[in-house]
Structure formats: C-alpha cells, structure tokens
A and B are shown apart, each in its own frame.
Chain A
Amino acid sequence: MTAVTLKNITKKYGDFVAVDEVSFEVQKGELFGLIGPDGAGKTSIFRILTTLLLAEGGTATVEGHDVVKEFQVIRNKVGYMPGKFSLYQDLTVKENLEFFATIFGTTIEENYDLIKDIYDQIKPFNDRRAGKLSGGMKQKLALCCALIHKPEILFLDEPTTGVDVVSRSEFWEMLAKLKKQNITIVVSTPYMDEAKLCDRIALIQNGKIMTVDEPQQIINSFPKSLFAVKAKNIYKLLQTLRTEKEVENCDAFGEYLHLTLTSELADEEKVSAIAQKYNPEDLEVKKIEPTIEDSFIRLMREQNDSREPKEMLDGK
C-alpha cells in the first residue's frame, strides 16, 4: 500500500519554479530519502505533503487522503520536523512535549514507548528551556514532539544538516528503530552518503526528480565503468586529465579522482596509460563501484546538458 503519492506536483514562487512536475510514491513502512542540495525543492515538497503549502499544479495524497481537500485528516496522521528548529524556545523540554501531546489530544504517557529511547537522552534536561539546548538535543526534542501523537508517517526535513558525523550516525540509528515500529519515514538530506541508509531514494535537483529507486539499483544503472585514480600531485593530475579527449568526466572524490572514459571499452590499463603521459608520481588506478554522489553528478550533468543555455545563466 502507498503512504504517499505525488502526481505532477508543481510549485512556483513568482516566476521561479521550485517544484517542477514531481511524481513519486512512498510505500507504507518505507524509509524514503529525498536527496538533493539546498534549493532543489525538498522543503516545498515537504510543506505540500504536510498541507502547509498549496501546489499550483498536480495532486498528492498522504495515507490515501488528498492534501488539499482532506488537510485536516492528514494533519492528525503526520509528524513533521521542519529543517528550521520550530519548537517554543521559551518553553522547557517537558512543556514543549506536553504542549504537542495536548494539541493532538494525547498525553506523553500514552505513546511513551515510541519516544522512550530518544526522550531518555534529553530527560535530564526536562526543565531547561528549548532555546538553551545544544543542537543535538534540540534535534532529539523536535523528533520526540513530532512522534508524540503516534503518527503513521513522519516527515523529517534535513534533520542531520550541519551536524557532525557522530550525531548523524546516531540519528540514523534512531530512524532505523522507528522504522521497525512500522512508521513510514520520509527524510530529506543534502548528504549523499546517507542515501544508502534509505530503502529507496529520489535524487532531486532544480525542482526535478532525476531518478527514484533503491540506492543499489541507482548505483547499478551507472552506465559507464568508473575508475579511481590517485597520484602525488592530485590537483595537477585532475587538471591535466580533464584536457584529455578520451576522458569523459574527471572529478575530485576525497583522496581519489573519479574518472570515466568516452569509450565504452575502458579498463585499468587504458586509464593508466592515459595518466602515465604526465609521469605522475605514485600513480594508482582501480576500477570501482560508483557511489550515489557519482550518480547524482552524472544525472545533474545530463539535466544541465538538456537545458537551454539562457536558462543555465539565470541559474534557476
């Protein structure tokens, strides 16, 4: 059964098309990721699905209910954690939680099981005002408040942005636990490495969905052989390799360069031979499995190539 459907959803702000005929579905119980940079349209989609924003075109349903006609029903069924901290700063941890429980006609005790693991971590600060909490604790409180009415579906807009690696990994562990309790989760993130933690993902850029699939499927459908190349002066290697006709794309990826050749017949020997022309020190070449970020970059380039130059200049 589907928890969320979007059909040709379009949102404009003046002339700017923030969401451009977006269609996808999220199945019940799924952990679904919306992956893309700032300005891709993620927040607008979240706000449309949580009935806080009206789309100009298209239709969408949440738990089978239309986001326009049945917004009141939806509001009782969803939990929403906006990207910007939106709790009451001058209420304490406990007061915030009680407030949200009351609004939804429930109590903290009633759904305590659901929030216990997360709430336990902030409980020592029950009497602290939300505005005085650290970033990580604010995030946990916001998640508790979004969960307190036992929603069927949870919308988390960039919950891990600006958070360090350790807190990010903890947050994803919490999501995995919530998923086990059969809550559908739709989460957005600009961090491509978090994509593999989702059941399925949509890659979004400039208001358009570039692809929707399981992370591994997206990786498998990368059309070219991908190579990781490394040498001592890597920046120089990057610049020189890009001038080579046989090189299709070459991008920095941490300590390696990721490279594809224009030819379909590519192997490590061939890539080494091209790189050797520049006598790089300590050259290393290996064929690798693409990451989601490789796929994202490739799809972005395809999207850019198909756009008019004028539109490119205007940016959006």
Chain B
Amino acid sequence: MENKAIICKDLTKQFGDFKAVDKISFEVSEGEIFGFLGANGAGKTTAMRILCGLSFPTSGEASVAGFDVYRQQEKIKKNIGYMSQKFSLYDNLTILENIEFFAGVYGVSRPEIKERSRDLILTLGLEKEAKKLVGGLPLGWKQKLAFSVAVFHRPKIVFLDEPTGGVDPITRRQFWEMIYQAAAEGITVFVTTHYMDEAEYCDRISIMVDGHVAAIDSPTALKKRFNAVSMDEVFYELARNAKRTLD
C-alpha cells in the first residue's frame, strides 16, 4: 500500500450549533497534488487550519505526515510548509533575510541555510535583488519566492492557500511548474484555488459544499461523471445549491 500523507476520517469542527466541517473523510497520497476546492463558506479554511495543526477538531480523526491532529500539533507544524496569498513573506525584510528567518524557524542548520539560500537565489534569478526588501518585488516574484521558502526545509507536505490569486497568467503557470517540481521530489501538495483551470493541474481534487466533501476524484473522472466539458461546470453543478455563503 502506498503511504498516505493525510488521512481524515469523519473529521468535524463545530462552533456552537454550527458544523463548519461536517464528517469529512479523505486520504492524500505521498507526492500527490491534491486540490481542495469549495464554495465560499464551505469549510475549507477551517479544515485546513485543523490539518496544519492550528485548530483542534471537535470529533473524528485525522493524521498529517503520520502525526495526530489532536496530540501532535507541534510535530505537524514542523513537517509541513505553508503559504497563502494573504500572508507569505515579511515585506520589510530582504529576500535573503526572509529565507534565513523562515529556514531558521523550521530548524535548518546555519551552514545549510547559507549554502542552499545561495542556490535558491541563483535558481530564481534574484542575485541582484537578494539584499533588497521583499516589499518592492512584483507580486508574481514574491509568490514564487514564498513558495520556495515554504518548501525550503523540505517538508513532507506543503499547504498552499490560493497561492496564485491575482497573479498574471504567465507567472501563474510558472508557479504551477514549481508545484510539479516539488511533487516530483516527493513533496505532497495540498492546494486551494479559485481558478478552475488550475484544478485540472491536480492529480485529484475534492469539492466541499456546506461542510461536506461533495465529490472527490481525478479531474477527468469528475468531468465524466457530471458530463461536463470543464471543471467550472462540475463546480457549478455541485455548489449552486449550497446553502451557506459564509466566508
């Protein structure tokens, strides 16, 4: 049996009477690119926070990188990488300082940081920018750098929360090539997006509606099942009757 990076079984999170996440079950294999989609307010963020070790579930079970979401939150945090559109890097630190800071937080040794940050800056073609503040970088570059920083400590899983929002179409594609590269190196990728063409780049996707996982499969299989030409249609079919519109 192949190894599972994430296992969720009947995972539930309740706020008062409100079941934000309602018995969701799924598994993500190691090295898989898993798209986590859903309507606004469907419970994606809540589920993701649990999987990142930031919030306790109310009931159900889940493990991330082999660690339990109730008892081993700190171990989960050490073994994952995270980036989002909203927060990725510190604008008032330089590129090099950002790399050093995040790598340091995740416990990468000083000599290793020194050596590999040099390599990373070369790969990204940012030699001239290395000592400039991140705040001055164009968004697309910032997001590519943020992704590299999120996987710098070679996590088992990287969580990407709308990583390409507002990014230009060329950079968006370069970003996905970086995702493919990371997956090829064995990193499991857990990604959310509002761009339905990006859903097609995932090995498998799940679509959450009203706290439930309404569908989970490969993009091809889902399109076949819903007799749809695009993922857009699949999503629309599943989410149009959603009762919740909370964010």
Spell out A's residues near B (CB within 8 Å).
36-40, 134-137, 161-167, 169, 190-193, 205, 235, 251-255, 293, 296-297, 300-301, 313, 315-316
A137 contact set on B, CB distance < 8 A: 245
CA distance A192 to B173 in the complex (A): 14
Expressed in whole angstroms, the Cα–Cα distance for A300 and B169 within the complex equals 9
Interface membership of chain B positions 222-247, coded 1 if the CB is closer than 8 angstroms to chain A and 0 otherwise: 00000000111001100110100111
| A169 close to B138 (CB less than 8 A) | no
Whether A165 lies near B165 (C-beta < 8 A) is no
Determine the residue in chain B with the shortest Cβ distance to A235.
Answer: B180
Given A164-B38, A165-B232, A301-B170, 7 more A-B residue pairs with CB atoms under 8 Å apart are A37-B167, A39-B138, A39-B166, A134-B245, A136-B247, A252-B201, A254-B231
Tell whether A164 pairs with B239 under 8 Å between CB atoms, given A252-B173, A313-B128: yes
A-B contact pairs, 19 of them (CB 8 A): A37-B140, A38-B167, A40-B168, A161-B166, A162-B194, A164-B39, A164-B40, A164-B239, A165-B194, A165-B232, A165-B235, A166-B39, A167-B40, A190-B166, A251-B170, A254-B199, A255-B219, A255-B220, A315-B138
CA gap between A175 and B247 in the complex, in Å = 22
CA distance A300 to B171 in the complex (A): 11
Asked if B196 and A165 sit within 8 Å, CB to CB, the answer is yes
Which 7 interchain pairs have the tightest Cβ spacing? Answer: A38-B166, A135-B247, A37-B168, A254-B200, A315-B138, A254-B197, A134-B246
B176 within 8 A of A: yes
**Shortest Cβ distance from A10 into chain B, in angstroms?**
19
B40/A37 in contact, CB under 8 A? no
Q: How far is the CA of A235 from the CA of B170 in the complex (A)?
A: 16
B162 at the interface (CB under 8 A from A): yes
Please, which residues of chain B bring their CB within 8 A of the CB of A36?
A: 168
Report yes or no: B41 in contact with A166, Cβ–Cβ below 8 A.
no
Which residue of chain A is the closest to B165 with respect to CB atoms? A162
Evaluate whether A253 and B138 lie within 8 angstroms (CB atoms) in the complex, with A134-B247, A136-B40, A192-B169 already known.
no
Residue contact A135 to B139, C-beta cutoff 8 Å? no
Closest residue of chain A to B223 (Cβ to Cβ) is: A255
Which one of B137, B166, B242 has the highest number of Cβ atoms from chain A below 10 Å of its Cβ? B166
The reply to whether A134 and B139 contact each other, CB–CB distance below 8 Å, is no
Shortest CB–CB separation between residue A307 and chain B, in angstroms?
13
CB-CB under 8 A for A165 and B239, given A252-B176, A254-B200, A316-B138: yes
Distance between B228 CB and nearest chain A CB, rounded to angstroms: 12
Chain B residue at smallest Cβ distance from A192? B169
A165 proximity list for chain B (CB < 8 A): 194, 196, 232, 235-236, 239
A253-B139 in contact given A190-B166, A235-B180 (Cβ < 8 Å): no
Which residues in A have their C-beta under 8 angstroms from that of B140? 37
Shortest Cβ distance from A38 into chain B, in angstroms? 3
Chain A residue with Cβ nearest B200 = A254
Q: In whole angstroms, what is the CA distance A273 to B232 when docked? A: 32
CB distance from B174 to the nearest CB of A (A): 10
B245 and A167 form a contact (CB under 8 A): yes
Q: Indicate if B141 sits at the interface (CB-CB under 8 A).
A: yes
| Residues on B with beta carbons closer than 8 Å to the beta carbon of A297 | 169-170
Contact B166 A166 (CB under 8 A): no
B173-201 residues with Cβ-Cβ distance < 8 A to A are 173, 176-177, 180, 194-197, 199-201
